[in-house]
Amino acid sequence: MLDIAWSSVVAPRYPEVLCKDYLPIIKGCVNLISAQGGIGKTFISLINTLFYLKDNPASCAYLWTTEDDPSLMKTREIAVLNRYLTQGIDFRKEIKRLAYGYHHLPFIEKHQGVYRESEFFPLALQQLTLFNLIVIDPLLNVFGGDNENDNHQARTFMNVLKRAASDNGKTFLVVHHGRKGDGSMRGASAFQDSSRLAYEILRDETGQIIARMTKSNYTGKYGDVILNPIPDPRYFPRDGEYEPKADGTTGTANVHYLTDNAPF
């Protein structure tokens, strides 16, 4: 049956932009970022999630990080919180509504020669009812296809996420590997074509980390977003150690997040 909506009775609905203070994404859609290795895309997705939680105090977020298990993500979290505390931004309350996952099961699978949604994905989605923002990092570890350059497989994967976003009110931020050299998105064009907003993460000529918008269905404009400060992607704090300050020194001034019993 066709869905026929007469214009005279349709109420307008404008896309809602989230995370305006860091990396803007579109609510209820599949958003995509890509970067080559070493840029810091996992840090960026974590920081964006914390900004999302600060702006949405009734929401929870799930970081599906299949390259760093939860204990490694906790060290990244400590680095981010300490770095932003030195900037006057306190995320300590937000981490109570943040969860990590490390599962590697696929979102799509081949059945009788055709790719479709896997049996695993809807079961996983049921367990993620609590979470409004779901970050997938990286895409390929949950892809399920055998060829990232195949547009049919890529489109099937993205359609699974789009249906989940539409039917369940979820916002997805998907992290994808970029090509070596220029950081442009790797694999089939359908990954980007099927997203609603896409960025490439790279360093500009001054060394700043920027997000370059490569696709937007809703914002109406393109441009670069500066993503500093982020912790050095190579840095992980050791037990009892502080994230280096912007001036290159270390210390305890104004930083109070090191142990689980730190004051909240």
Query: pLDDT-derived band of residue 36, with 50, 70 and 90 as boundaries?
Result: confident
- For strands 209-216 and 197-203, give the pairing: antiparallel
Cβ–Cβ < 8 Å for 147, 186:
no
Peptide bond preceding 138: is omega within 30 degrees of 0, i.e. cis? yes
Q: What is the pLDDT of residue 207?
A: 82
Q: What is the fold, at CATH topology level, of the domain defined by 24-226?
A: Rossmann fold (3.40.50)
Q: At 141, phi and psi to the nearest 5?
A: -75, -15
Question: Token pair of 154, please?
Answer: 């890529």
Peptide bond preceding 229: is omega within 30 degrees of 0, i.e. cis? yes
Least confident stretch, 67-76, 79-88, 112-121: 79-88
Nearest-5° angle of CA 63, CA 48, CA 251? 100
- In 3D space, the residue among 59, 66, 65 whose CA is nearest the CA of residue 27 turns out to be 59
Residue entry with tokens 């203070």: 21
Mean pLDDT rounded to a whole number for the chain: 86
- In percent, the amount of the chain with pLDDT more than 90 equals 63
What pLDDT digit, counting tens, does each position of 155-176 carry? 999 999 999 999 999 999 999 9
What pLDDT digit, counting tens, does each position of 190-235 carry? 999 999 999 999 888 888 899 999 988 776 556 788 887 777 655 5
What's the CA gap between 203 and 224, in Å, rounded? 11
Cβ–Cβ < 8 Å for 213, 178:
no
What's the CA gap between 39 and 55, in Å, rounded? 26
Q: What is the pLDDT of residue 37?
A: 83
- For strands 171-177 and 133-137, give the pairing: parallel
90 versus 239: the higher-pLDDT residue is: 90
Q: What is the pLDDT of residue 229?
A: 74
Write down the domain spans for the chain.
24-226
What's the CA gap between 162 and 171, in Å, rounded? 9
What pLDDT digit, counting tens, does each position of 114-133 carry? 999 999 999 999 999 999 99
Residue entry with tokens 């370059």: 212
Q: What is the pLDDT of residue 244?
A: 44
Q: What is the pLDDT of residue 254?
A: 39
Residue entry with tokens 């049996």: 119
Measured CA to CA in angstroms, residue 80 lies from 49, 63, 92, 159 at distances of 11, 15, 10, 33
What is the 8-class DSSP label of residue 44? H
Q: What is the pLDDT of residue 237?
A: 52
Query: pLDDT-derived band of residue 262, with 50, 70 and 90 as boundaries?
Result: very low
